[in-house]
């Protein structure tokens, strides 16, 4: 890095400036709110609180990974869009106001009190930690990708640097006034996401609103083409042998259904989001703040489909140039790019190992197409192509296609946007990953220090020791997640999807039944949580390895347990099945055991009525 390019200078400046802002805000807010650690959200306007919730919620999975998955899964990628927004409806209608009325600080605390059982509380803590750590792995993958590109190092090195920064950041920012930092992070990430999207939408369709541009006429550089943007994309991808963009699915209809359901229920069961609704001043504001949060989240989520589709088209367009005035069809209608002409962004990403060209047929040209499609293979043979030449990975361990997690970060470069826009998107990706990682680590550390140590194992622990235990558990979580992030079980959004499945199969049913089913007792809830998360974990580990450690998968095709053997449902979508198991087991077990005591039934009655909601208390 001896010769800093113009882009490098922009990137360092923008990233440096945003980081300085976050740290400045953290220090300023801390000074102003001493002693208000737990009620940071109280004095905050619901709209601002919605922004903070948006930053907390939108992670590396939303920012860096999701549009890339949409780009290469087309319609199938909709499961992420609907799953991660529709869950807010469940959260707002079924949980948020009641949990606010209950007025405690952690999710395990509610479960422990409602089910009058320390066992229930401990089981909830374990479920929470399993889901949150898996979620942090996904963030680590995203942070590793962002840093590897930003600092021009390998993915592994980017991950190590990311771990160090998250560790410092979580300890610093995790203390006080986190809400205000997250408001700043929301502003950075939403600008970083929408500004490039507006530019690209203008370039390709002439419409400044990406939401409308995706449904507009394809008009590159203002030249009308007579076909819509999506029709153009469908045509290009099918000619290269890929599945049609607007109808491509992720597995069967049942799998799409289960995947969406798993993400929605998981959204409403993830502790770091639920906590946000504990600290708003009233039940009424808990109802509204879910809506405001979704407003700010929807700005990104309705932009993402355009980002994905346009990135896919620009990516193809760079490598395989469509011939003009040709009568040829399919692969022959495209001119491969000479390897000498590979753009600078491509070479930069090659250094990270996340996007690699390997000249299989030694013709010096870059061929990119679907080499799994028989018809396209026949066309390729006729042209002398020996397979698609775009990979990711290093050495001999090359995997086909680009690493999808680079698409959002690479998108402005692919589209040839100005350097300050490219710099902005790196800052945005880091803001998204850091804000969520900090929130999750806080949830993990409070679960361990507050719910486990203080309340169960070491009741006379001093406040200082409790804080230190919290910090230690944060560091432990970062190391575990970082180690597993070296061999992530999937793209960032896919890994995060597993975390949602775990939350869906354990915490959400226990919370919902606790509010809506007065008869639910301690034994039923505990049995349900254990059964739900166990079947989900077994199915995930069977596919992805025990605790995601490579080589420990235990699929058994000889027993009829091949990949996705349960009705074609993928492990990422299995949380929906786990949730059904949880509900069923909880009902059955509670039906044959004693009903909850009188005072618990009164507690449920009380939670259902807004009047009398006091301030949230810790004990």
Partner 1 sequence: MTPENRSDYWKANIRLVTILLIIWFIASYGLAILLVEPLNQFYLGGYPLGFWFAQQGSIYVFLVLIFAYAFGMNRLDKKFDVEE
Binding mask 568-607 toward partner 1 (x if CB under 8 A, else -) reads -------------------------------------x--
φ/ψ region of 117 (left if φ > 0, alpha if ψ in -120 to 50, else beta) reads: beta
Rounded CA-CA distance 526/144 in Å is: 37
Rounded CA-CA distance 140/162 in Å is: 7
The structure tokens listed for 14 are 């923008």
The interaxial angle of helices 463-486 and 118-150, nearest 10 deg, is 50
Residue 479 engages partner 1 in binding (rule: CB under 8 A): no
Min dist. Cβ of residue 95 to partner 1 (A) = 11
Choosing from 48, 124, 613, 616, the residue that interacts with partner 1 (CB under 8 A) is 613
β-sheet bridge partners, residue 405: none
Neighbouring CB atoms inside 10 A of 546's CB total: 14
In eight-state DSSP terms, residue 228 is B
Q: Up-side HSE of residue 260: CA atoms within 13 Å toward CB?
A: 17
- At residue 126, φ and ψ (nearest 5 deg) are -65, -45
Give the nearer residue to partner 1 in terms of CB position, either 130 or 274. 274
Angle formed at CA 511 by CA 507 and CA 514, multiple of 5 degrees = 140
β-sheet bridge partners, residue 391: 356, 400
Q: By CB under 8 A, which span of 78-86, 143-151, 365-373, 468-476 interacts with partner 1?
A: 78-86
170 to 199, contacts with partner 1 by CB under 8 A?
A: none
Choosing from 13, 247, 487, 601, the residue that interacts with partner 1 (CB under 8 A) is 247
Residue 228 engages partner 1 in binding (rule: CB under 8 A): yes
Min dist. Cβ of residue 219 to partner 1 (A) = 11
Contact yes or no for 137/162 (Cβ under 8 A)? no
Choosing from 63, 72, 88, 115, the residue that interacts with partner 1 (CB under 8 A) is 88
Min dist. Cβ of residue 247 to partner 1 (A) = 7
Give the nearer residue to partner 1 in terms of CB position, either 92 or 240. 92
Give the nearer residue to partner 1 in terms of CB position, either 82 or 191. 82
Rounded CA-CA distance 30/26 in Å is: 6
Give the nearer residue to partner 1 in terms of CB position, either 96 or 355. 96
Contact yes or no for 539/516 (Cβ under 8 A)? no
Binding mask 272-301 toward partner 1 (x if CB under 8 A, else -) reads ----------xxx--xx-xx--xx--x--x
Give the nearer residue to partner 1 in terms of CB position, either 294 or 579. 294
Q: Which of these, 589, 485, 534, lies nearest to 115 by C-alpha position?
A: 589
Choosing from 93, 375, 382, 479, the residue that interacts with partner 1 (CB under 8 A) is 93
The structure tokens listed for 395 are 């050495």
Residue 85 engages partner 1 in binding (rule: CB under 8 A): yes
CA distances 201 to 3, 71, 87, 211, Å, are 33, 15, 28, 9
Give the nearer residue to partner 1 in terms of CB position, either 527 or 613. 613
Rounded CA-CA distance 155/167 in Å is: 18
In eight-state DSSP terms, residue 242 is P
Min dist. Cβ of residue 497 to partner 1 (A) = 16
Q: By CB under 8 A, which span of 4-12, 27-35, 452-460, 610-618 interacts with partner 1?
A: 610-618
Q: In which residue are the tokens 């006034």 written?
A: 177
The structure tokens listed for 284 are 């009424």
Please give the full DSSP string across 146-186, using - where no structure is assigned: HHHHHTT--HHHHHHHHHHHHHHHHHHHTSS-HHHHHHHHH
Give the nearer residue to partner 1 in terms of CB position, either 28 or 516. 516
Rounded CA-CA distance 564/93 in Å is: 32
Residue 214 engages partner 1 in binding (rule: CB under 8 A): yes
The structure tokens listed for 323 are 């011939």
Give the nearer residue to partner 1 in terms of CB position, either 560 or 612. 612
Please give the full DSSP string across 48-102, using - where no structure is assigned: HHHHHHHHHH--HIIIIIHHHHHHHHGGGGHHHHHHHHHHHHHIIIIIHHHHHHH
Give the nearer residue to partner 1 in terms of CB position, either 291 or 364. 291
Q: By CB under 8 A, which span of 33-41, 227-235, 441-449, 574-582 interacts with partner 1?
A: 227-235
Min dist. Cβ of residue 261 to partner 1 (A) = 8
Q: Which of these, 561, 584, 557, 583, lies nearest to 571 by C-alpha position?
A: 561
Give the nearer residue to partner 1 in terms of CB position, either 286 or 507. 286
How many amino acids of this chain bind partner 1 (CB under 8 A)?
51
Q: In which residue are the tokens 């919290």 written?
A: 470
The bridge status of strand 334-338 relative to strand 356-357 is: unpaired
Dihedral of alpha carbons 113, 116, 120, 121, sign:
positive
Give the nearer residue to partner 1 in terms of CB position, either 358 or 608. 608
Give the nearer residue to partner 1 in terms of CB position, either 216 or 522. 216
The bridge status of strand 320-322 relative to strand 365-366 is: unpaired
Min dist. Cβ of residue 372 to partner 1 (A) = 24
132 to 151, contacts with partner 1 by CB under 8 A?
A: none
Choosing from 14, 71, 229, 236, the residue that interacts with partner 1 (CB under 8 A) is 229
Give the nearer residue to partner 1 in terms of CB position, either 464 or 611. 611
- Spatial neighbors of 86 by CB under 8 A, at least 6 apart, are 260, 263, 264, 267
The structure tokens listed for 81 are 């869009």
Give the nearer residue to partner 1 in terms of CB position, either 48 or 294. 294
Choosing from 50, 305, 428, 596, the residue that interacts with partner 1 (CB under 8 A) is 305
Q: Up-side HSE of residue 581: CA atoms within 13 Å toward CB?
A: 21
Min dist. Cβ of residue 12 to partner 1 (A) = 35
Residue 515 engages partner 1 in binding (rule: CB under 8 A): no
Angle formed at CA 467 by CA 465 and CA 472, multiple of 5 degrees = 90
In eight-state DSSP terms, residue 330 is G
Choosing from 212, 224, 375, 479, the residue that interacts with partner 1 (CB under 8 A) is 212
β-sheet bridge partners, residue 356: 391
Min dist. Cβ of residue 62 to partner 1 (A) = 13
Min dist. Cβ of residue 176 to partner 1 (A) = 27
Residue 313 engages partner 1 in binding (rule: CB under 8 A): no
Residue 66 engages partner 1 in binding (rule: CB under 8 A): no
Q: By CB under 8 A, which span of 77-85, 156-164, 434-442, 531-539 interacts with partner 1?
A: 77-85
Q: Which residues bind partner 1 (CB under 8 A)?
A: 70, 75, 78, 81-82, 85-86, 88-89, 92-94, 97, 211-212, 214-217, 228-231, 246-247, 253, 256-257, 260-261, 264, 282-284, 287-288, 290-291, 294-295, 298, 301-302, 305, 605, 608-613
């Amino acid at each position: 890095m001896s010769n800093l390019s113009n882009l490098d200078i922009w990137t360092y400046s923008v990233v440096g400036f945003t980081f300085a802002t976050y740290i400045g805000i953290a220090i300023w807010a801390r000074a102003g709110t001493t002693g208000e650690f737990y009620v940071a959200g109280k004095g905050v306007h619901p709209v601002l609180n919605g922004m903070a919730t948006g930053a907390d919620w939108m992670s590396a999975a939303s920012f860096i990974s999701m549009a890339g998955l949409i780009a290469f899964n087309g319609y199938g990628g909709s499961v992420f869009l609907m799953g991660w927004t529709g869950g807010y409806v469940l959260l707002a209608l079924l949980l948020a106001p009641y949990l606010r009325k209950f007025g405690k600080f952690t999710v395990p605390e509610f479960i422990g009190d409602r089910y009058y059982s320390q066992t229930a509380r401990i089981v909830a803590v374990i479920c929470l930690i399993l889901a949150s750590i898996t979620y942090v792995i996904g963030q680590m993958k995203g942070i590793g990708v962002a840093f590897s590109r930003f600092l021009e190092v390998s993915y592994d090195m980017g991950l190590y640097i990311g771990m160090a920064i998250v560790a410092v950041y979580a300890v610093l920012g995790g203390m006080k006034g986190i809400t205000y930092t997250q408001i700043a992070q929301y502003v950075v990430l939403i600008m970083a996401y929408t500004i490039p999207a507006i530019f690209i939408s203008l370039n390709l369709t002439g419409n400044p609103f990406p939401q409308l541009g995706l449904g507009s006429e394809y008009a590159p550089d203002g030249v009308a083409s007579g076909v819509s943007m999506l029709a153009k994309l469908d045509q290009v991808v099918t000619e290269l042998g890929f599945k049609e963009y607007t109808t491509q699915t992720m597995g069967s209809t049942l799998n799409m259904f289960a995947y969406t359901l798993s993400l929605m229920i998981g959204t409403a069961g993830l502790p770091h989001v639920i906590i946000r609704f504990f600290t708003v001043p009233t039940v009424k504001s808990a109802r509204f703040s879910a809506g405001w949060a979704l407003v700010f989240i929807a700005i990104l989520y309705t932009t993402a489909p355009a980002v994905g589709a346009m990135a896919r088209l620009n990516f193809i367009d760079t490598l395989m140039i469509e011939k003009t005035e040709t009568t040829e069809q399919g692969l022959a209608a495209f001119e491969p790019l000479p390897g000498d002409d590979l753009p600078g962004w491509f070479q930069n990403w090659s250094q990270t190992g996340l996007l690699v060209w390997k000249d299989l047929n030694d013709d010096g040209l870059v061929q990119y197409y679907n080499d799994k499609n028989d018809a396209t293979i026949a066309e390729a043979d006729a042209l002398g192509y020996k397979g698609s030449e775009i990979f990711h990975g290093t050495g001999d361990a090359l995997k086909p296609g680009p690493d999808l997690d680079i698409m959002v970060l690479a998108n402005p470069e692919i589209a040839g946007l100005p350097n300050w826009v490219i710099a902005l998107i790196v800052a945005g990706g880091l803001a998204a990953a850091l804000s969520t990682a900090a929130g999750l680590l806080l949830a993990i550390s409070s679960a361990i220090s507050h719910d486990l140590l203080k309340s169960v194992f070491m009741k006379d622990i001093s406040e200082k020791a409790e804080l230190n235990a919290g910090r230690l558990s944060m560091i432990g979580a970062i190391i575990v997640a970082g180690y597993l992030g070296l061999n992530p079980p999937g793209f960032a959004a896919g890994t995060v999807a597993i975390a949602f499945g775990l939350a869906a199969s354990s915490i959400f049913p226990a919370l919902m039944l606790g509010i809506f089913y007065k008869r639910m007792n301690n034994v039923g809830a505990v049995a349900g949580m254990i059964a739900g998360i166990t079947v989900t974990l077994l199915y995930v580990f069977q596919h992805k390895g025990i605790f995601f450690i490579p080589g420990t998968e235990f699929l058994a095709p000889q027993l009829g347990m091949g990949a996705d053997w349960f009705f074609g449902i993928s492990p990422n979508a299995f949380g929906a099945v786990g949730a059904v198991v949880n509900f069923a087991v909880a009902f059955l077990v509670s039906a044959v055991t004693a009903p909850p005591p009188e005072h618990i039934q009164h507690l449920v009655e009380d939670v259902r009525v807004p009047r009398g909601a006091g301030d949230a208390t810790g004990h």
